[in-house]
Structure 1
Amino acid sequence: MAPKNDNFAAEEARAIEIGEETGGGATGKKRRDTWTTRTGFILACVGSAVGMANIWLFPYRVAQLGGAAFLIPYLIFVALIGFSGVIGEMSFGRAMGTGPMGAFAKAVEMRKAGGGIIGKLIGLIPTLGSLAIAIGYAVVLGWACNYLVASIDGGLMAQTDMGAFFGAIASDFGNVGFHLLGLAITFGIMILGVSRGIEKVNKVLMPTFFVLFVIIAIRVATLPGAAAGYEYLLVPRWEALLNPTTWVYALGQAFFSLSLAGCGTLVYGSYLKKDVDTVSAARNVAIFDTLAGLVAACVVVPAVFAFGLDVSSGPPLLFITLAQVFQEMPFGNIFAVILFISVVFAAITSLMNLFEAPVEALQEQLHLSRAASVGLVAIAAVAVGLFLEGGSTVSLWMDVVSIYVMPVGALLAAIMFFWVCPKGFAKSQAELGHGKPLGPWFNFMTRYVFVGITAAVIVLGIFYGGIG
């Protein structure tokens, strides 16, 4: 029997060879698309992480759960998850050169020859979970598209009952045209591929998103009464840290905001070149995702306070409360347009990431073309999504997927990379492009802390009925 370290070296060499084959070269296989720049990859990952939850959920959590004190547990969990799970999913995808189904299969093969089919079946869980959450998320993108057009043509500012306006849109088959428009834009970009479509669009949309939100934040700062909102938001209420709920929701916000589900970050990582530093990339994603939430909070909470409205949770904060704020604000129509452009941008960049996992699976597992794969996923998105347009229906759908499927996908990916692959393999893959070895902290943080955190997210999500 060969020594253990020889086995590890052989398995690592075999995995690297597999990754090189999937990336193209002299093997005769079709070359796999890759990110053309590190910046493009980071912005795409930021785009996947920055979504509508940053705009409505993060401000609500901060305001209701201790103000600035909430940032303490939130930043702790962002650091723990970012430097374990995010690095892990990026590195796992790159090491295997494929998405969840292929990556899980290769991980199992490294442990037991002939076990690839089991790995593929397990990899279906995060892949289908990504498709399911994307189908629901597309409904919300359709709402945002409707609001954007209504803010441009003046219809939004003319509404006398914003709740009724939103209720009509968020009803069964109440927003079919804009729902299909959002999907058409998303799939139109995706069909161009990773480098020519997803990367190029994220390079434009993400910087624009931040610029537009800063513009709105500056305008909100000039509103009479906004100071009370800043005080409520930024003055720490330390007693909140004694409430376990604060820590639970800080964990949920950090976990789901960083887009961990064993699919999106993993599949984006599979398009990475070997010289990209995933440690640095994970840090940047965590930083910019947090900044997006903070900027959104500095818009939402002071604006709501300025007009004496409630900081309520859920989509109504964005589609009813904030819309009412812009109705009452001088030149509000202009800033409504800016806001909903930002919301649409954030939704599209997140949706591309969610749909990429099933698209990649069809390409790699069934050897379909990019166009055929996107087409099949689009058919599924329309066929199922149109029946989810009711607000309560899509909310239930999203809750079930986010509570029971997404964190399970993240846990399975973590087990595959950190436990099923040979010991030390994950660390060696994360070190590629980093320029220096990672300390012993990495194995402990990934194998024990992150896996434990992910298991806790599953349990707490079920107990609380959702924490993200």
Structure 2
Amino acid sequence: MERERLGSRLGFILLSAGCAIGIGNVWKFPYVAGQNGGAIFIGIYLLFLVLLGIPVLCMEFSLGRASQKSCARLYETLTPQKKGWRWHGKVALAGNYLLMMFYTTVAGWMLKYFFDTASGAFEGAGPEAIAAHFETMNASPWTLVFFMGGIVGIGFLVCAAGLQNGLERVTKVMMILLLAIMLVLAVHSVFLPGAREGLAFYLLPDIERVRAIGWGQVVVAAMNQAFFTLSLGMGGMAIFGSYIDREHSLLKESVHVAALDTFVAIVAGMIVIPACFAYNVEVSAGPSLIFLTLPNIFSAMPLGRLWGALFFAFMTFAALSTVLGVFENILSATMDLTGWSRKKTCLVNGAALFVLSLPCALGFNVLEHIEPLGAGTTILDLEDFLVSSLILPLGSLLFVLYCTTSLGWGWNAFKKEANTGRGARVQEWMRPYMQYVLPAGIALLFVTGLLL
């Protein structure tokens, strides 16, 4: 079967960035940046994006383009004689399923809140009513399962239409709308009365805040954000590498994708933090920011229904862009393993992922008595821990070792593939860094992630 191809370079960049751009860009980055010294944190983050994120991204793209396969088959295609690597392809595929087992519920929250905000559910509502709304939603198994199922259905319907006609076409439109909505929301936020203090908190360097927290803590936070923002280690980027031509070097493409992902993260902060300061609301991280803090702000804001609906449309697009990217990785791996058609693969995986996602959706109500990581934790917390703290860092470490050592594919093969095409090139002087320092940095992130 001939390998499918993306129709354009723009489609490749938007798809890859869309897969990386997720809800964490909005509910984590602004808060972490503000708390850790503003511009100082952002500067350290950008440094580690160059040192950690972009090299691993380039390696994933190279593995996909060279093998023309998904994570499930790339090892046996590139080094058929080295069978010890193949198990990681299966673990990476399992990681994609595990990620979607909880991400579909979170994406369902966004879709539900878009409809609620657009219909005026929060107009005139006080903090107690807004908090009760979130609790009521999570207490209803039917509500969570319905919207989770909606996300699964939308994702597989888009992917079933084909790589170019479905995934690429829809993601292009969605990402352009996402960026347009973001810019409108950011301009609105920065011109709110009192927003200047929020911008200063977010974007100006604050050495005293860094000293109070500790330089070590700030550096580790920046390393984590830079590394995990690109969703590396599970073959999600390798799959898009397998769909593109050899006209452009992969280091150049990696820089473009990382830049777009970072742009979204930074602009998200310009939406959230000035609005929090303008309405004298505590900036928080995680679901409380999205489902409690911001609805309170929109409730008090003139034309809050409009701005709230636009915000949750943006959040829904951000969530769906990740869902579509990961679904495509799952589909491609399944097709590589089974030889099934795209439509049959979508049907089987759609049903499987709906069933696999039920424990997370029911973990807030029917199964809330299950607290896998201790009191107050949910099934979502366990699944998130397995993906974020284990599968992503260890998978990235394996990709780096495979690309830079003779135990795997090797430095020369990686460098040749990465440098095919026009644009920035992987240089020979980078080899000691990528072979020794980069794996050590990822290992450090893995250990600190388990300890903190």
Q: How high is the TM-score relative to the length of structure 1?
A: 0.88
1:444 is matched with which residue?
Answer: 432
Q: CA deviation at 1:150?
A: 0.7
Contact 2:403–2:411 at 8 Å: present in 1 too?
no
Q: Which amino acid aligns with 1:252?
A: N
Q: CA deviation at 1:128?
A: 0.7
Q: Distance in 2 between matches of 1:70 and 1:247?
A: 8
Using a 3 Å threshold, how does the CA distance of structure 1 residues 99 and 442 change in structure 2: closer, same or farther?
A: farther
Q: Which amino acid aligns with 2:206?
A: R
Q: Which amino acid aligns with 2:195?
A: A
1:93 is matched with which residue?
Answer: 64
Contact 1:101–1:119 at 8 Å: present in 2 too?
no
Pick from 147, 171, 181 the counterpart of residue 212 of structure 1.
181
1:329 is matched with which residue?
Answer: 301
Q: Distance in 2 between matches of 1:105 and 1:172?
A: 46
Q: CA deviation at 1:359?
A: 1.4
1:191 is matched with which residue?
Answer: 160
Is 1:410 aligned to residue 382 of structure 2? no
Query: Which runs of structure 2 are paired with 1:69-468 in the superposition (5 Å)?
Result: 69-109=40-80, 113=81, 115-116=82-83, 118-157=84-123, 159-160=125-126, 161-171=129-139, 173=141, 174-239=143-208, 240=210, 242-389=214-361, 390=363, 392-419=378-405, 420-434=408-422, 438-464=426-452
Q: CA deviation at 1:156?
A: 3.1
Q: Which amino acid aligns with 1:401?
A: V
1:62 is matched with which residue?
Answer: 33
Deviations 1:121-152 (A, max 9, x none): 22111111111112211111100010011112
Q: Distance in 2 between matches of 1:436 and 1:45?
A: 18
Using a 3 Å threshold, how does the CA distance of structure 1 residues 436 and 179 change in structure 2: closer, same or farther?
A: closer
Residue identity (%): 29
Q: Which amino acid aligns with 1:162?
A: I
Q: CA deviation at 1:246?
A: 0.8
Q: Distance in 1 between matches of 2:100 and 2:206?
A: 36
1:10 is matched with which residue?
Answer: none
Q: Distance in 2 between matches of 1:426 and 1:86?
A: 12
Q: Distance in 2 between matches of 1:320 and 1:407?
A: 31
Contact 1:262–1:413 at 8 Å: present in 2 too?
no
Contact 1:108–1:416 at 8 Å: present in 2 too?
no
Q: Distance in 1 between matches of 2:415 and 2:95?
A: 27
Using a 3 Å threshold, how does the CA distance of structure 1 residues 334 and 104 change in structure 2: closer, same or farther?
A: same
Aligned Cα root-mean-square deviation (Å): 1.7
Q: Which amino acid aligns with 1:396?
A: L
Q: CA deviation at 1:158?
A: 5.3
Q: CA deviation at 1:436?
A: 7.1
Contact 1:33–1:194 at 8 Å: present in 2 too?
yes
Q: CA deviation at 1:338?
A: 0.6
Partner SS state of residue 224, structure 1? coil
Q: CA deviation at 1:177?
A: 1.5
Deviations 1:175-219 (A, max 9, x none): 221111111111111112222222112211112111101111111
1:15 is matched with which residue?
Answer: none
Deviations 1:225-253 (A, max 9, x none): 21111121122112417521111111111
2:18 is matched with which residue?
Answer: 47
Q: CA deviation at 1:437?
A: 5.3
2:369 is matched with which residue?
Answer: none
Deviations 1:418-455 (A, max 9, x none): 22113411000000113575322332343223322222
Using a 3 Å threshold, how does the CA distance of structure 1 residues 327 and 437 change in structure 2: closer, same or farther?
A: closer
Contact 1:88–1:446 at 8 Å: present in 2 too?
no
Q: Which amino acid aligns with 2:115?
A: V
Partner SS state of residue 410, structure 2? coil
Q: CA deviation at 1:171?
A: 3.7
Q: CA deviation at 1:277?
A: 2.5
Answer with 157-166 or 192-201: which moved more: 157-166
Using a 3 Å threshold, how does the CA distance of structure 1 residues 437 and 301 change in structure 2: closer, same or farther?
A: closer
Q: Distance in 1 between matches of 2:241 and 2:140?
A: 37
Partner SS state of residue 35, structure 1? coil
Contact 1:82–1:283 at 8 Å: present in 2 too?
no
Contiguous gaps of at least 5 residues in structure 2: 365-377
Contact 2:52–2:227 at 8 Å: present in 1 too?
yes
Partner SS state of residue 100, structure 1? coil
Q: Distance in 2 between matches of 1:287 and 1:435?
A: 16
Using a 3 Å threshold, how does the CA distance of structure 1 residues 374 and 418 change in structure 2: closer, same or farther?
A: farther
Contiguous gaps of at least 5 residues in structure 1: 1-29
Q: Distance in 1 between matches of 2:424 and 2:301?
A: 53
Q: Distance in 1 between matches of 2:189 and 2:411?
A: 52
Contact 1:279–1:434 at 8 Å: present in 2 too?
no
1:14 is matched with which residue?
Answer: none
Partner SS state of residue 28, structure 2? helix
Contact 1:54–1:292 at 8 Å: present in 2 too?
yes
How many aligned residue pairs are there?
430
Q: Distance in 2 between matches of 1:175 and 1:49?
A: 24
Q: Which amino acid aligns with 2:131?
A: G
